[in-house]
Amino acid sequence: MTKSTKDRFQPVKSILVSQPRPSDAKSPYFQLAEKYNLRIDFRPFIQVEPVSIREFRKQKIDILKHTAIIFTSRNAIDHFFKICQELKIEMPADMKYFCISEQTAHYLQKYIVIRKRKLFVGVRTAADLFDYFKKHKGEKYLFPCSDIRKNDIPDYLAKNNIEFTEAVIYHTVAADLSDLKDIKYDILAFYSPSGITSLIHNFADFDQGATRIAAFGPTTSKSVRDQNLILDIEAPMPNAPSMTGALELYIKKVNNL
């Protein structure tokens, strides 16, 4: 990546975002690039691999014994319904769905016809679903997830004695980033601890030098610090609720705008 030891506050000209390129042409990232004449590239630092049917069966989970399903990502939806298809399982009409966001709920319609009374949708974070869980304590929840996931939902359900089953349906693994070895960016932007893990996995001798690191969310920020890296840009913040907002504030500062 970089071995530079130059001033950490040099102007920003390039950013690498550790996520797929946005499909929306109006993405704030594209607006940021145009507004400040930046090079912004996108590259997923992690990839997902589905569990095999054999591996899923070892978990001894009876999907149809549950009355509600919790979805926190598109990956979870895709891999869950792939397993259902392979096992020839059809979702009953009275199954309830708890989705972390409107985007996740909208994506769910790719697989099922949703009745509003069966769908409960948060705004953006897992905490948005907690009130729904509390109001529907009698459900038997199924939580399809990765082998690497946040603890907030399982911890809340366990703490409140709400019955649930965790189903690992895909693995989160480090992507191969070897082609980035000699490419330098002024800022690396991360959205998950897995992204940081992938960075170290791919570049065991990573020398941060003048490269600035941006992190979204407290667990990602903690992961940066745990690797003894310098965290330059943290989001969300009261004056910057989004990653692009935090990046813009930083760019204005170091680019003297």
Model confidence pLDDT, tens digit, residues 164-216:
999 999 998 999 999 998 889 999 999 989 999 999 999 999 999 999 999 99
Indicate the domain borders of the chain: 14-45+180-255, 48-173
What interhelical angle do 28-36 and 243-254 show, nearest 10? Answer: 10
What's the rounded mean pLDDT across residues 11-29? 93
Confidence of residue 149 (pLDDT cuts 50, 70, 90): confident
For domain 14-45+180-255, which architecture applies? Answer: 3-Layer(aba) Sandwich (3.40)
Confidence of residue 5 (pLDDT cuts 50, 70, 90): very low
**Strand-pair category, 46-50 with 164-174:** antiparallel
Provide long-range contacts, Cβ within 8 A and 24+ apart, for 153-161.
153/70, 153/72, 153/126, 153/129, 156/126, 156/130, 157/133, 160/133, 160/134, 161/137
Q: Is 93 exposed, middle or buried (0-12, 13-18, 19+ CB in 10 A)?
A: exposed
Residue 132 pLDDT > 90:
yes
pLDDT value of position 103:
87
Report the Cα–Cα distance between both ends of the chain, in Å, rounded: 27
Confidence of residue 161 (pLDDT cuts 50, 70, 90): very high
Task: Tell me whether the CATH fold assigned to 14-45+180-255 matches the one assigned to 48-173.
Answer: yes
Amino acid at 30: F
Dist. CA 49–CA 79, nearest whole Å = 9
More confident site: 38 or 23 = 38
For domain 48-173, which architecture applies? Answer: 3-Layer(aba) Sandwich (3.40)
Lowest mean pLDDT among 134-138, 150-154, 164-168: 150-154
pLDDT digits (tens, 9 = 90+) for 101-131: 888 999 999 999 877 679 999 887 788 899 9
pLDDT value of position 130:
94
